[in-house]
Amino acid sequence: MKTSALYARVSTSGQEKEQTINSQIAEIVSKAKGDGSAIEQGLQYVDDGWSGELLARPALDNLRDAVKNKSFDTLYLYDLGRLSRNFLNQLILKKELTEAGIKIVSLHDINGENPESLLAQNVMGLFHDYERIKIAERFRRGKLYKAKSGILFGWQAPYGYEYIKGKEKGMGNFKIVPHEVEILKMIFQWIGIEGLTIRQVIKRLYEQKIYPRKSKNKYWSTSTLSRRLRDETYIGVTHYNKSKSIVPENPTKNEKYKKIKKSSRHNNPKDQWFAIEVEPIIEKELFTAVQKQLILNDSFAMRNKKNNYLLSGLAYCSCGRKRAGEGNSKTHNLYYRCTDRVLRYPLPKECHNKGVNATVLDDRVWSTIVKLLSNKNLIKKHFGIWKEKQKQPTSNTDFLKTELDKQLDAFETQEKRYLEAYGEGAISLSQYKEQVQAIQNKKTTILTKLQRVSTDFSTPSAPVILPDLDEYCDKMKIILTNRDFEKKLPIVRKVIQKVTTDGTIATIQGYIPLQIPVENTQENVKFKSEYRYRRSPQRRKINPIQRPP
């Protein structure tokens, strides 16, 4: 008695959910039963959610092993594309089966029972391969056209948004998720305003029991936060074709079976990106501040340091170059040396300023910070100067009007693109109406803001409420007393803008902060001002002791 087997496969998760694999199996079993053959459960080889591009599939490998062992005589398929979508791979598999004396029965193909039908079957397989490539290219071009027209489609919405499908297929928009937006704004403020690092943000989120949208572990990862903090979607612009799928050169997991062949991503050049406007969540000024702080945090990261330099990234030479920390292998002393000789190599150096002993300069700068921030009279004097400056009339009306006009022009351009897309038949009338209505709503909002700009800036601002400066100085004394290196570091970064030295005299430029985050001090000093101000950079000179280079 002859034995039969079946092979079934679907590629996408959507097909898995729709259980199309079960419909394949049911149709094959029915056909085999009509031919007077029953297929045992052990001879049903099923790859659920595996791409036909891949030759390494668990059930297919088991089938090929069974072919070598001659475990069956007839193989039933829904169609030959189930074996492989690649024509050459399909020929290899068919050859293995026929050489083992196994008959192939395809429910939806010409079965090669003679040379003529075999030729027709191969031609059909080649045509299917060509059609697959053609369909993929058609989809790619269709998506590019939609992206060029500013149409949002099939997006994986980032945190803070939810993708809402439109009434027509292939259309949609981002809807803001209010509670996620509040969390995002806090995260951006913690870094852009308070100057926290990503790791400090992760700790704070965990302590406040704020968890990411999708995570088995109840904490945010550094990679996730890093991507979110750099995502321009939050300032109103998302991009299509930003990256492409590629086969990883050095895969992190050496798995035998991979459902996705191209599991890695590679960024495309920026001129190949297509911008699509969405509703912004974060102000551009805050987003820019966060990008600057991330760069600053990276330069200050302890993983980049072999030794402890309090002024790392802040020390400059009087020639204009930065000073970098460098150790002396003989004396084991640490110095801040001008980078001129490194940057000009192999040319002769232009700067001949000597190195400054890092330990001495760090101590002198820290003692100066403590002295300045503990001086009540000095603090009050500079706050008085700052307060007088706030009374001087300033207006950003022209700048805001220009920005709003630019946004209005962008929406009008987008509206014209939708009209062109409708005229060329790329979108239906209902799609056109839906997108244009959304643009009209945004334009109405911009026009309302334009009408309010002049009124808002012509009215006097609310009086500035300064904290109690005596209390401020008392708290500063507590915060600045007996600090070790790890506790000094965030305070120095908060206060110092740069320290410039010619090797003999050092000039400090910095700010008077009204708040230093409690996380950075690791003390239970709960002092926080109602407003956060910074005085413009002030200079103080100190004379570090010069040591031999």
Q: Is 245 a catalytic residue?
A: no
Tokens of 175: 């809807």
Are residues 256 and 297 in contact, defined by beta-carbon separation less than 8 angstroms? Answer: no
Quote the CA–CA distance of 91 and 247 in Å, as a whole number.
24
Residue type, 129: D
Question: What is the b/e burial string over 320-337, where b = at least 16 CB atoms within 10 angstroms of the residue's CB?
Answer: ebebbbbeeeeeebbbbb
Angle between helices 222-229 and 284-300 (to 10 degrees): 140
Tokens of 427: 């979108």
For residue 240, the surrounding DSSP H or E stretch is: strand 237-240
Q: Which of 191, 181, 270 is nearest to 234 (CA)?
A: 181
Are residues 261 and 285 in contact, defined by beta-carbon separation less than 8 angstroms? Answer: no
Are residues 341 and 321 in contact, defined by beta-carbon separation less than 8 angstroms? Answer: no
Q: Which of 80, 184, 169 is nearest to 128 (CA)?
A: 80
Compute CA distances 81 → 78, 86, 248, 456, whole Å: 8, 8, 26, 66
Q: What region, left, alpha or beta, does residue 522 occupy, with left being phi > 0 and alpha being psi -120 to 50 degrees?
A: left
Are residues 469 and 380 in contact, defined by beta-carbon separation less than 8 angstroms? Answer: yes
- Tell how far CA 262 is from the center of its chain: 19
Helix, strand and coil content of the chain, in percent to the nearest 5, comes to 50, 15, 35
Instruction: Residue 15: count other Cβ atoms within 10 Å of its Cβ.
Output: 16
Q: What region, left, alpha or beta, does residue 544 occupy, with left being phi > 0 and alpha being psi -120 to 50 degrees?
A: beta
Quote the CA–CA distance of 43 and 102 in Å, as a whole number.
14
C-alpha Rg value of the chain to the nearest Å = 34
Quote the CA–CA distance of 124 and 114 in Å, as a whole number.
15
Q: What region, left, alpha or beta, does residue 277 occupy, with left being phi > 0 and alpha being psi -120 to 50 degrees?
A: beta
- Tell how far CA 50 is from the center of its chain: 28
Which is catalytic among the residues 4, 11, 51, 84? Answer: 11
Q: Is 309 exposed, middle or buried (0-12, 13-18, 19+ CB in 10 A)?
A: buried
Catalytic residue positions, numbered: 11
